[in-house]
Amino acid sequence: MAKKTEILVIGTNEQIRETVLRLLNTNPTWQATGVGTNEEAVAKCKETIYEVLLIGAGLTDELETQLTAKIKAIQPSIQIIPHYGGGSGLLFAEIYLALGTNNEA
């Protein structure tokens, strides 16, 4: 079985984060995991190689900047992108563009 594309999602609103994860995981080639804080994100990136970090709503500009620096230091090749919209509308296009492909199942 082919390795799934690992996607890490950070956002402080648990309900929106769960919605985003549910939508991402409808794609059988993706494996999305969610966290609510920078510390959790850093810990996850020390355990697993992610292709994409999707930054959802709720972090301050300062926290987003700090998170980007910390994650890039651990995983230099990760694609870090802000998420907009909070639901299905833009989500898939954001991931396809980050991966440079349309790997829709």
Partner 1 sequence: MAQTVLHTAASRGGADHGWLKSYHTFSFSSYFNPERIQFGALRVLNDDSVDGGMGFGEHPHDNMEIISLPLDGALQHKDSMGNIATIEPGEIQAMSAGTGIYHTEYNKDKSKPVKFLQIWVFPNKRNVDPRYDQKKIDAPGQPNQLVQILSPNQDDAGIWIHQDAWFNLGKLDENTAVEYSIHKKGNGAYIFVLEGKVTVNGQELDRRDGYGIWDTENFIIQANTNTEFLIMDVPMEF
Minimal distance, residue 23 CB to partner 1, in Å: 10
Amino acid at 55: I
| 93 contacts partner 1 (rule: CB under 8 A) | yes
Footprint on residues 45-74 left by partner 1 (CB under 8 A): 56-61, 64
State which of residues 4, 13, 38, 81 lies at the interface with partner 1 (CB under 8 A).
13
CA pair distance 92, 43, nearest whole angstrom: 25
CA distance 22 to 33: 10
| Helix-helix angle 38-47:61-74, to 10 degrees | 10
- 36 binds partner 1 per the rule CB under 8 A: no
Contacts of 25 (CB under 8 A, 6+ apart): 31, 32
Residue type, 66: Q
Q: Which part of the chain contacts partner 1 (CB under 8 A), choosing from 31-39, 40-48, 71-79, 88-96?
A: 88-96
Q: Considering the complex, state which of residue 66 and residue 74 has its C-beta at the smaller distance from partner 1.
A: 66
- Site residues (CB under 8 A) for partner 1? 11-13, 15-16, 19, 56-61, 64, 82-90, 92-93, 96-97, 102, 104
